Amino acid sequence: MKEYTKSDLVEYTNQVINYIAKGCTIEELIQFTYQTFNLSVIVADPGYRFIAYAGTEEVIDPYWQQIIASGEPTDHTIMEYYINDGLMKAITSSKEAIYVDWGVCVDYPQTCGPIYIDQNLEGFVSVLFMDEAILDFSLQLNNLLRQFCTILMRSKNFRLKHAINPVKELLAQKFFDTENYPHAASLEEYLSTVNILPRYCVVVLSEKNSDAVILSHIKSRIVKGRSDILYLVKDQKLYLLFHQLKAAELGEPFLNLIRQYSVYCGASSIFSSLMDRKACIQQAELAHATAQALDDSGGCTQYTKALSAILLLQPVSDIQPENLLPQQLQTIFTYDQLHETEFAKTLETYLEQRNDINKTASVLHVHRNTLIYRLNKLRDLLEVDIDDPEIAWLFQLAFRVQQVVK
């Protein structure tokens, strides 16, 4: 193996600066690097998809073989060998080239470093050097290549705005898997890399004819160019986590796509804590299943507005307890627990008596004025009109469900 000196790097740097000034490409930069040092080099985007490669015809690293041949690695390779083994975290935490000799690289030592533009991860560059004697040299060369690739990506407008982020993919898998990852704490190691911020909403949608190709196309159109969506495709359904919501609505462009493709779509309530994610994922699933049962496609069925239909159409025994009550009634039950009051019982009896004050007062054995005070207090706590027929029906149904469950 040839020995390399600092002067070799200085000469190489001067030559590359001249090449960049003349308008060279990343492919030409990598090819020149290989010809100069006889070391294989590969550049990939944040999802480990192929950008450029130069080296021997029979590169020995099986991962490199895979990415060169197909343009991208398999999901298994990314998740099992690069995420779970900690390579992605090690690279992005270092901010510079690191030595890799574990995981899938255990037999193929190499250096790997992140390419950042404006603090955004835009890719990786790896040098396969094989001989530990030139480890220091490979690290220095890799850091130079990172800087040169940054210059070329910026000047050529080569940035990969919609590249897959494998950490984001793995977070999505864990976020929507509440059986194996029931607690939000299991997501914390990924949240430091993927910026997931309140307010949140979970959406589940499916193509009417279970066409995977159309669903994939819909997914691409929804998530393209958006950093405020986490997504996962499973069981022929597309799961979406909208975050950083500025309003209660999901946005007209998204709703237009739902109408355009006439898909079944269900959405959870808006929530502010990832501690509530399990309940809200089920809310979106229930709303989606109800849209399917009613053959209501082309719109977004919202859990909060469809709860009556959900309680009538979906198996109550499968629904999490917190999802059996409208949010307003949950507020009342919580208030009763904290203040040792009986506002929930008062409301339930009032609705059973068809909103008749005199009959309700008689059943509860309270003075009419006491009941009126309680009802006014309920209106303040609920912030809805309890005499509205639709509201009264929903609350009465929810109370009956509570009786059945108990």
Contacts of 169 (CB under 8 A, 6+ apart): 47, 75, 78, 79
- The CA distance from 287 to 205, in Å, is 10
pLDDT digits (tens, 9 = 90+) for 137-195: 999 999 999 999 999 888 765 555 445 567 788 889 899 999 988 888 888 878 877 88
Least confident segment among 137-141, 277-281, 398-402:
398-402
**pLDDT for residue 75:** 67
**Topology given in CATH for the domain delimited by 166-315:** Alpha-Beta Plaits (3.30.70)
Helix pair 252-261, 212-223: axis angle to 10 deg: 170
Between 170 and 358, name the one with better pLDDT: 358
**pLDDT for residue 158:** 57
Q: Considering the chain, what percentage of its residues have pLDDT values greater than 90?
A: 50
- The CA distance from 109 to 191, in Å, is 29
**pLDDT score of 212 more than 60:** yes
Give yes or no for a cis peptide into 199 (omega within 30° of 0).
Answer: yes
Could you check whether 6-155 and 166-315 share the same CATH topology?
no
- The CA distance from 90 to 112, in Å, is 10
> What are the boundaries of each domain within the chain?
6-155, 166-315, 327-405
Mean pLDDT of 30-58: 89
pLDDT tier at 402 (50, 70, 90 boundaries)?
A: confident
| Homologous superfamily, domain 6-155 | GAF domain (3.30.450.40)
Domain covering 327-405: architecture: Orthogonal Bundle (1.10)
**pLDDT for residue 287:** 97
Least confident segment among 73-82, 136-145, 225-234, 257-266:
73-82
Mean of pLDDT over the chain: 88
Over the range 179-213, which residues count as b (16 or more CB within 10 Å of their CB) and which as e?
eebeeeeebeebeebbebeeebbbbbbbbeeeeee
Instruction: Please give the torsion angle defined by the CA atoms of residues 117, 121, 127 and 133, in that order, rounded to the nearest 10 degrees.
Output: 90
